[in-house]
Amino acid sequence: MSIQKFPLTSLHKIRKYIVYSLALPESEQEAKLGEANEMPEPESLDDLSGIFTFGGTPLAEHPPSTVQEEWFVSTVNPGAPLLKLPGLSVKPDYRLVSYLFRSEGSGVGVVWAVPEALSNMSEVEKALQNTTSIRSLPKPTGAIESFMDVIEGDRSHASFLIASILRRELQEFGALGDRQNWSHHHLIEQLPAGNWQWQGDPPKDWLPKVRILSDGRAAVEFFSYRDVAPKSIYRHLDQYPANSYKPVTLDKTFALLK
């Protein structure tokens, strides 16, 4: 069994890079009315790699600038963070795809993993049929139930810490307004000032840490401060099996601000 602790600055850098890589172009931030820009329809998501990575003109058929109260395919590639993050990658023959729903002052998103053979735009857009409600998520053909099932890595300490942050950012992808949760959590390495009511014993060590057992299983632990009511301290614990980066997670309130 080995335990490795990480400085909070490392965790901040990881999160900042992931957030930057998943940043939505302005046209996808909110539902707006406007003119759509014409562009040829690509054959697959790979044809849009540059646009997906940095944001750009959305697809002509489902332009976010003209869509309200409707799901559409996002131009953001959810796999973009893995292009430079060490230790993790998407399994061969799979792609991550993303959808967004926008309404006045609110919105959500969803990320799916699909086989590469089913990642062309015609297949991805089929999932948009009969999904006019925010509650009816578009699910493309062949989609894997959890996108973490197609994440693989070198099983290093850092890879598990990165996976824990990546999963939370992808789960919150595209969320706006009251749909946001993880966005209100700030990573911490010490108790913020305030009169705190503890739900258990305070931790002896606030540093982010990863433990890898001899059988290959791993656990990640870190803490965050939620800055909206009820303001609180959270303990995040992810437990990874020996053959997967899909964890069993526990996000538990540790203390409440009186």
Residue-by-residue DSSP string for the chain: -EEEE--HHHHHHHHHHHHHHTPPPGGGTS----PPPP-PPPSBGGGGHHHHHH--PPPSSS-GGG--SEEEE-S--TTGGGGTSTTEEEPTTEEEEEEEEEETTEEEEEEEEEEGGG-BHHHHHHTTTT--STTS----TT-BS-GGGGEEE---HHHHHHHHHHHHHHHTTT-BGGG-SGGGEEEESSPPSS-EEESSPPPS--S-EEEE-TTS-EEEEEEEEE-SSSPEEEEEEEEE-TT-S--EEEEEEEEEE-
Chain centre distance of CA 96:
11
Q: What's the token pair of residue 48?
A: 């849009």
Same domain, 65 and 88: yes
pLDDT at 143 over 60: yes
Q: What is the reported pLDDT for 68? A: 59
Task: Between 106 and 110, name the one with better pLDDT.
Answer: 110
Q: Last residue of a domain, which of 179, 210, 235?
A: 179
Q: What is the arithmetic mean of pLDDT over 93-117?
A: 93
In a domain, 201, yes or no: yes
Structural domain boundaries enclosing 224: 184-257
Q: What's the token pair of residue 155?
A: 């099983």
Same domain, 224 and 248: yes
Same domain, 175 and 105: yes
Q: What is the arithmetic mean of pLDDT over 189-207?
A: 92
Q: What is the reported pLDDT for 32? A: 53
Same domain, 15 and 71: yes
Q: What is the reported pLDDT for 137? A: 92
Same domain, 172 and 214: no
Same domain, 99 and 56: yes
Measured CA to CA, the distance from residue 169 to residue 174 in angstroms comes to 10
Nearest to 245 by CA among 168, 116, 152: 152
Average pLDDT, the chain: 87
Same domain, 17 and 143: yes
In a domain, 46, yes or no: no
Widest CA span in the chain? 59
In a domain, 30, yes or no: no
pLDDT at 66 over 90: no
Same domain, 169 and 243: no
